[in-house]
Amino acid sequence: MSVGKQKITRVQRLQSIEENKLNALSVELAVVQAELAKLHEKAQSVQSAINSATLPDDAHQVESHQQSLVWLSHLEKQLQSIAAKVTESEAIRDDTLQRMIAQKVKVNGWEKLTDRMQTELDHETQAVESLDADDRYLNNPVKR
Residue 43 is predicted with a pLDDT of 92
Mean pLDDT (the chain, rounded):
87
Domains of the chain: 3-52+67-137 (1.10.287)
Q: How confident is the model at residue 68 (pLDDT cuts 50, 70, 90)?
A: confident
Residue 51 is predicted with a pLDDT of 81
Taking alpha carbons only, the member of 54, 43, 48 closest to residue 77 is 43
User: Which long-range contacts (C-beta less than 8 Å, at least 24 apart) are formed by 109-116?
Assistant: 110/11, 110/14, 110/15, 110/18, 111/15, 113/11, 114/8, 114/11, 114/12, 114/15
Residues 8-64 pLDDT 10s: 999 999 999 999 999 999 999 999 999 999 999 999 998 888 888 766 666 566 677
Share of the chain above pLDDT 90, in %: 58
More confident residue, 59 or 72: 72
Report if pTM > 0.75. Answer: no
Plot region of 57 (φ>0 → left; ψ -120 to 50 → alpha; else → beta): alpha
